[in-house]
Amino acid sequence: MQTALLEKQKITKQDYLSDELRQLLEKLGVSKKIHKDTYLFQEGMEAQEIYILKSGLVQVGKITSEGKELSLRICKSNDIVGELTLFCDDPKFLLSGKVLEDGEVLVVNRVKLEKELALNGQLTIEFMKWVSNHMRKFQSKIRDLLLNGKKGALYSTLIRLANSYGNTTSDGIEIEMILTNQELGKFCAATRESVNRMLSELRKLDIIYIDEDGKITIKDIQFLRDEIGCENCPIEVCNIF
């Protein structure tokens, strides 16, 4: 995955924090280098900090009871990571943050941030709205997996990728981000072999086309939506981030 592609996603104003809130976070934060294949935090660890990603990529996910890795979010520059632990008693990370690409984060002490937000009701409301929006994203992804199984989770992932990286062509919606079948499998708790079978089925049905470089074009996105009972969620919820 290339950082340049991350700049092409469709973003709405709800993905941004106000200048005032971002300045507060930067004032409280300390810079830290992050390195590929290490963990920014892991599930079950005490959560004393939140992070603002300045550069690099971080995958937020969970290990299932079967030992499979479920990817819930890919965080990019300016994203806040670990924010769901704020205003909790004895907070622990519910998910893990794995570094996919070297970069730098701003480390913000959770207690200091809570004290600052308590002094400014307007910023607190803004921050909670931002957190709520991310909770909706997590809930919708888990819902797709629980209600529709691995196939539904794959279809949902393809739709989210199309919303984030899709370009409309004469053949359909071409997804600019190229993911291996193993990487796709992490978004739906499926093996590489299972993803390969499901994609092959979609190709036979002429729902998708995959070129020699591995780039996917969705020829009939409505088929995918119908199969999972798509609720046409707004794009700030139905995306890969």
- For residue 214, how many C-alpha atoms fall within 13 Å in the half-sphere facing its CB? 10
Q: Which residues of 205-215 are buried (b: 16+ CB within 10 A; e: fewer)?
A: eebbeeeeeee
Answer whether 0.75 is exceeded by the pTM. Answer: no
Beta strand 208-210 with 39-41 is unpaired
CB proximity list for 191: less than 8 A, separation 6 or greater: 68, 185
Domains of the chain and CATH, by start: 3-141 (2.60.120.10), 148-227 (1.10.10.10)
Q: Which residues pair with 44 in a beta bridge?
A: none
The per-residue pLDDT for range 182-241, each reduced to its tens digit, is 989 888 878 899 999 999 999 999 999 999 999 999 999 999 999 888 877 767 667 776
The per-residue pLDDT for range 61-96, each reduced to its tens digit, is 887 777 777 888 888 888 888 877 777 778 888 889
